[in-house]
Amino acid sequence: MIGRFRHRGLAGLFLENDSRRVKSDLVARCERRLSAMAAAESLMDLRVPGFVFHRLHGAPVRYSIHVNGPWTITFEWSDGAAWRIDLEQYHEYGHHEPHDPH
């Protein structure tokens, strides 16, 4: 079930079929993931191949579903619903901090 959104673009996409605030190459994948979240009765329902679903470190407890490249949908889960749903670049793939051996 979907509770509340943090990302206005995802809210518009899910609630009004308005994709203007979501990058065009992410729209179809976001729609599929939001549909799965809306149908989910438990977190186990989100363990879908390709979603790379996992719990994030830190507090409050948040979860991540991979969208494309560095983009991921993050959210909290409470009372059978996803809350504070956001679209963000959670990881910067290919970026490594330089290692200084001294």
Q: Which two tokens stand for residue 79?
A: 């009372």
Mean pLDDT for the stretch of residues 26-54: 97
Q: Where are the domains of the chain?
A: 8-89
Fold type of domain 8-89: YaeB-like fold (3.30.2310)
What's the confidence (pLDDT) of residue 96?
30
What 3 state SS string does the chain have? CECCECCHHHHHHHHHCCCCCCCCCCHHHHHHHHHHHHHCCCHHHHCCCCCCCEECCCCCCCEEEEEECCEEEEEEEECCEEEEEEEEECCCCCCCCCCCCC
pLDDT tens digits, one per residue of 47-102: 999 999 999 999 999 999 999 999 999 999 999 999 999 999 976 443 333 233 33
